[in-house]
Structure 1
Amino acid sequence: MTRPYYWLGAIFVFFAAFCFAMKGIFVKLAFRHEIDAISLLTLRMGLSVPFYGLIAWRLSSQKDNVRFTPKQWLWVVSMGITGYYFASYFNFLAFHYITASLERILLFIYPTFVLLINAFFRKKAITKLQIGAVALTYTGIVLAFAQNVDSSQQKDLFWGSFWVIISGLVYAVYLVGSDKIISQIGAQKFTAYAMIAATVPTVIHCFVENGLHIGHYPSEVYWIGLVMALFITVLPSFALTEGIKRIGSGNAAIIASIGPVFTIFVATVVLEEQISALQIVGTLLVLLGVFLIGWKGNK
């Protein structure tokens, strides 16, 4: 492995972390136009799926392409729906109730869920360092959460936090469940087909809830949807995949943990959200905990 190869991988992960961190900002901007969560998610997925379809077609038309077995198809579809429909929808719901900066801090509970799921279901031992990392993460989340109990910025702190935690738990299930299938079929192929699979229940949900009436919003909403499709979904998903291939998942997790810092900074500037010193301390503890989990994984 050459040094430029490695550093280009780090840049890919850094870019992906920045893009994913901007999701909450754009969701909050879209919600100002009275769009509901499932309609916005449908716009995001609907505008993304042509790109994933093109990529899936290109990969499947290659000479060395290996066809999926029925079991692999079932696993790709189920993991796609879990990670990109359920987790995303629950996450979008949370933005109705809490700020983008608090959502990003709470969402970083998911690495601890991954650790616990692997421990209980795959019998992977948890080390003392990982226990300390989990303790740091939860201490930071409690500090950030407590600071917002009486905050006027949160419409419903506990309900919003509930949806973020459920989203993090579902996303952790997706990460653990997709690990093996990705190694079998390749990350790019998995991402493309999983996103296509997740689009189907998203559109069905939108049709059931509001008849798929998503054509009456101001033009700003569709521009936000297009930006989310390209820069919050398609580009970072493949940048992260390429970055992990180059530098490994452990190093990628460490770099990606910078995400909440991006969100907090942009949220204070664009959305005029306020953040206290105690919330900053809580954020740093969360990042340190995630850093230790990622570093141990790399070790």
Structure 2
Amino acid sequence: MTPSHDPASRRIGLALAAAGAILFSAKAILAKLQYRYGIDALDVMALRMGLSLPLFALLGWRETRRARGGGQALSRRELGLIVVLGVLGYYASSLFDFWGLEYVPVSLERLILFLNPTFVLLLGVFAFGRKVARKEWVAMAVSYAGVALVMAENLRVEGEHVLLGSALVLMAAFCYALYLAMSGQLIQRVGSLRLVAYAMMVSTAATLLHYALARDFAPLLQLPWQVYGLAAANAVFCTFLPVTFTMAAVARLGAGTAAQLSVLGPVSLVFLGGWVLGEAITVTQVLGTAVVLGGVLILTRPGANSVPIPRS
């Protein structure tokens, strides 16, 4: 869809992109609050996915009806790829992410996840033979230097468990980058909302299967009401709404502008983590965050990573 040039539509798009970035990042805040009630990453993930399932099922039903109207039936190969993407992008990535949040502050978690464009860039280089301009390599190096700076500061403030948590969140970022790299052509064929809805349903099935194999469901139904309230907020406001907000913003602004506004996520968490959770905010953390955001902005701007690939 061509981005709108209407000023009112663009203002709405900017507001939707900003809200989507902040709400999606806030899932880390809600997970941290749930951990205070003695549950772990798998509990948080099962509640989040289970409560968001009806919303994504409804979205998938609506998008499927639209697609059938256009004669766009999915092939077996496409259905198989959707299963792979759902397990990889929303099950594995979310599991590593919530697990890592047990050990790292939310500001560092979001900063590491924000390295997704660098992973997509590296996958393009090593898996697809894409060419990258020198300034993109410099931007990537700057991004990782910023993360290293923030991680070193958190090691000083939080302790050595930050290393384990950072490694887990880095795995989450890598899994999601694989999802992005593999989903490009499928998005054009299936549609972004339809693909997200299907992938989230697959992820929910994988999560619930994991939970059934690992533990009994009974304790999950006997938690304090505050846990369910936080899980419902996570499912609706930090999972379903950010997806729909972001897609609506892309339709109005284009993918490049919407991606640049995602920097509000890490910035908001630096201060939300301090305000809501009482996490330490230091000058070094703020400086490192600014360095990372600067590098990633270069990688996500229109025209980045666009060095032509020589034709054989």
TM range (shorter): over 0.9
- Counterpart CA distance in 2 for 1:242 and 1:75 is 25
Change (3 A) 1:36 1:155: farther
Equivalence map 1:102-181=2 (5 Å): 102-151=108-157, 153-154=158-159, 156-181=161-186
Corresponding residue number in structure 2 for 1:13: 17
TM-score for both structures, normalised by structure 2: 0.92
Corresponding residue number in structure 2 for 1:188: 193
- SS class of match (1:273): coil
The runs of 5 or more residues in structure 2 that have no matched partner are 307-312
1:186 Cα shift?
A: 0.7
Q: CA RMSD in A?
A: 1.5
Question: Structure 1: which 4+ aligned runs deviate by more than 3 Å?
Answer: 296-299
- SS class of match (1:96): coil
The runs of 5 or more residues in structure 1 that have no matched partner are none
Contact kept in structure 1, 2:271 and 2:281, CA below 8 Å: no
Question: Which shows bigger deviation, 181-190 or 204-213?
Answer: 204-213
1:59 Cα shift?
A: 2.1
Question: Which shows bigger deviation, 278-287 or 246-255?
Answer: 246-255
Question: Which shows bigger deviation, 273-282 or 8-17?
Answer: 8-17
1:15 Cα shift?
A: 1.0
- SS class of match (1:142): helix
TM-score for both structures, normalised by structure 1: 0.96
| Count of residue correspondences | 298
1:7 Cα shift?
A: 2.9
- Counterpart CA distance in 2 for 1:227 and 1:237 is 14
Corresponding residue number in structure 1 for 2:26: 22
1:101 Cα shift?
A: 1.3
In structure 2, which of residues 277, 282, 286 is the aligned counterpart of residue 280 of structure 1?
Answer: 286
- Counterpart CA distance in 2 for 1:174 and 1:9 is 25
In structure 1, which of residues 203, 207, 214 is the aligned counterpart of residue 212 of structure 2?
Answer: 207
1:199 Cα shift?
A: 0.7
User: Is 1:52 matched up with 2:56?
Assistant: yes
- Counterpart CA distance in 2 for 1:189 and 1:129 is 35
Letter in 2 for 1:190: L
1:30 Cα shift?
A: 0.2
